[in-house]
Amino acid sequence: MSKAIIMTGNSAAALAAKMCRIQVVAAYPITPQTSITEAISNYVESGELKAEYVRVESEHSALTVCIAASTVGARAFTSTSSHGLLYMHEQVHWAAGSRLPIVMCCVNRGVGAPWSIFNDQQDSVSQRDTGWIQLYCRDNQEIIDTVIQAYKIAEAVSVPVMVCYDGFVLSHTMMPVVVPMQEQVDAFLPPLKTSGHLDTANPRNINPVVFPWRRADSQGVMRDGYMEIRYKLHSALNDARGVITQVNGEYARVFGRDHGGLLWDYNANAAEILIVAMGSIASESMPAIDSLRAQGINVGLIGVRAFRPFPKLEVREKLAGAKAIIVLEKAISYGHDGALACELKAALYGSAVRVPFHSYVAGLGGRDVNAKEIEAAITDSLKQIAEGNLEPPTHWLNCRTE
């Protein structure tokens, strides 16, 4: 029978990886993700998890090990944060281009310079164009459930998945987590079967230099050029929208917890003002919304769970009845807007949704952002909209900009 245990987000991620029966794990310590792989190393050392734990000299090597393991058919796992993810960047591309179903937890942390060990989402958002699926979690329960779902998604579409959650805000905060039974996880996620692993009886090159055009191999079979390979990766990411929704629905039926698939909402039905956010800042917005609704303001929340593939059509549908949109996020696309705001504007372009649009960058480098501040920001935006300021430049919440 499932039981609730009070644990940190990192403990939830490590336990989920163990319950997925990972076979190879490699990671390099970096705050605030280190305790994930510390916990997994304890599982391996105690015999609770039969897996190869590979100690490496860098994050680049950690993902390289996972790429090699996944290439030969093993279920592989790693985790990282901030500069560790940036150091992996070359291999992040390589894993996606190789169509390997690796799962990696990114425990979101600001990047330098200057140095910060505290939270924002700039690290993972900076990797949005590498070909990985990116799922963002709002609490520790969603972390354990999403890691389990991530393997099923990755193995269905042959695309790696990054499970992202806020450093310290979730990684080191303890909260009750309902732990599924191992038997249920085994039934939901059967052993990995892959047709792409190496065969010693039939040796071949993996990822050789590819020409721009299609060409026949030594057997006369026409093979894809670089562009066809990229098109197929792009198509797989697009197809993953349906798979993420399907896997989430199956998980909800088996385990009784529905995290919304691509999007989730809170008091959004018939709401006139819709807040859009992802990760823990979305959770922090919920009490602000409760307070505003108690004041008679018809406001609701749309939580973005899948940043890649971006849920373009679903966003349009959710925002169709809004009279104003306010975006809250922990990342910035320098020289433009907040990254999530950019994606939303692109998704809404050409649709019938043409309403006031305010966006806030908040919490960079761990700057506190609480429900009262969010409530005040929303109230201020509504005042500005009433005065005719329909789409101002990006607001920097709780930041002295003069």
Q: How many angstroms separate the CA atoms of 307 and 228, rounded?
A: 24
**pLDDT at residue 217, as a whole number:** 83
Q: What letter represents residue 273's amino acid?
A: I
Query: Is the CB of residue 145 less than 8 Å from the CB of residue 137?
Result: no
Q: At what angle do helices 280-294 and 371-386 cross, to 10 degrees?
A: 60
**Regions of the chain with pLDDT less than 70:** 195-197
Instruction: Calculate the CA dihedral of residues 270, 273, 277, 280 and round it to 10 degrees.
Output: -80
CATH topology classification for 263-396: Rossmann fold (3.40.50)
Phi/psi at 398 (5° precision):
55, 45
Query: Is the CB of residue 300 less than 8 Å from the CB of residue 286?
Result: no
Domain residues of the chain, as ranges? Answer: 3-188, 263-396
Residue with tokens 């109230």: 379
**pLDDT at residue 205, as a whole number:** 80
Query: Is the CB of residue 93 less than 8 Å from the CB of residue 214?
Result: no
Q: How many angstroms separate the CA atoms of 44 and 47, rounded?
A: 5
**pLDDT at residue 196, as a whole number:** 62
Task: Provide the CATH number for the domain formed by 3-188 in this structure.
Answer: 3.40.50.970
Name the token pair of 198: 């190496």
**pLDDT at residue 197, as a whole number:** 63
**pLDDT at residue 317, as a whole number:** 96
Whether the model pTM is above 0.85? yes
**pLDDT at residue 19, as a whole number:** 98
